[in-house]
Structure 1
C-alpha cells in the first residue's frame, strides 16, 4: 500500500497513516516494515534498517497523540495534556540531521527514535504555534485526514483536490444530472405538448 503526502505537513501526513477512521478504518502501519517504508517515503531518512514490533507500537502511540491534538486544533477544542506529553517525550530524542555529502546530495541517517523525534518535533512546532490555526479536517466523506489550509482565503475544504475534491465534485455532478433529468420529466408531464417537440 502506498502513502499519500497531501496534508502539507510531516506530522499530519504521519497522522494519516491510519485512514478512514470513522468508517472503514485502515491501518497503513500494519507491520514494522510499513513504518520503515513510510519514513523513507516521507524522506525523513534514506533508509531505516531495523524496526521492531515494540517500535511500531511506539510509533502508533505517537501518531494517535498527534492526530487527537491536531483534531482538537481543527475543531477549537483544548486538547489533552497527556497527548502533549507523548509528543514532548518523543521530541526529547535527537532528530534526524541531514548531512550534506556534496552539492545536490544530502544523506539522512537515523534509527527509529530519531525518526520519531523528527516527527514529534515537527508536531510540536505546528501544534504549539500559530500554525495550529491552519489545521483543517477534510470535508470529503468519509475522509478523516487533517491538513494545513495555506490558501489565501483560508477556504480549502479537501485534503487533496485530486482525490477527495474530485470525488465530491463527481458526486455533485451526478446529483445535478439526476435532478435535471427529474425536472425535465416533471416539465414534460405538466406540459404534454412538449413531448411532441
Structure 2
C-alpha cells in the first residue's frame, strides 16, 4: 500500500479499486501500510464516499446518528470478511450473520420507463437505516459467496499484504493485488536474490 510524505509524516492514499469485485474492494478498505493495519474508514463520510465510488449510491440519505454508518460498515465488513475467508479455506460457511444482515436489507424490483429504450427492470433498495444503506453491498456479498468461482477469489501472495482480488485475467495466473506495489516488490526482491546468488 502506497504512502506519500507530507509535512514530515506519511499520509495514506485512498483505497484503490483493484480487486475486480466491489465486495473484495470493500474488504480492502483495511490494508497494511508500513507494517501496520490501516482502516480507510474513519468517518461516515469515508464510508459514503467509498460506496459512491463503488457504485452503491445511498438514496435517499438516511438520518443517522453521527458515526452510525461507520460503525455498521465496519461490522458488516468483518462479517463479510469472515464468510469470504471461511469459504476460501474450505470451511463450512456460517450463514446466520449474513442472513441477519440480508433480513435487515429491504429491496424490491421496480419497473422504469426510459425514453426510446422501453421498460427496464431494476432492484431498488430502501435506505432508512445504516443496514439498509449497506444492503446492496450485503446482497452482492451473498451473491459472490453463492455463485462466485472461489478458485479465482484470492488473497495477494505477498505475505505482508492482506488485500484480496478476483482473478479475471485470461490465464487466471494473477498473483498480486497490484503489480505496481506487491508484484513490483517481489520482482525487485527476486532480482536482488539472483544478483546475490551469482556473486554480483
1:129 aligns with 2:147: yes
What is residue 25 of structure 1 aligned with on the other side?
Answer: 37
The alpha-carbon deviation at position 109 of structure 1 amounts to 9.8
Deviations 1:110-157 (A, max 9, x none): 745454111111111110114334211111131111211223343221
What is residue 4 of structure 2 aligned with on the other side?
Answer: none
Gapped regions of structure 1 (runs ≥ 5): 185-197
The alpha-carbon deviation at position 69 of structure 1 amounts to 1.2
TM-score by length of 1: 0.73
Q: For 1:120 and 1:93, locate their aligned partners in 2 and report how far apart those are by CA, in whole Å.
A: 11
Aligned length: 176
1:9 aligns with 2:21: yes
Q: For 1:83 and 1:53, locate their aligned partners in 2 and report how far apart those are by CA, in whole Å.
A: 22
The alpha-carbon deviation at position 159 of structure 1 amounts to 1.5
TM-score by length of 2: 0.72
Q: Which residue of 14, 37, 41 maps to 2:53? A: 41
Tell me if structure 1 keeps the 8 A contact 2:156–2:165. yes
Deviations 1:70-99 (A, max 9, x none): 122222222333443344335x3238x9x8
Structure with bigger gyration radius: 1
Larger strand proportion of the pair: 2
What is residue 165 of structure 2 aligned with on the other side?
Answer: 147
Q: 1:19 to 1:29 in 2, by over 3 A?
A: same
Tell me if structure 2 keeps the 8 A contact 1:69–1:83. no
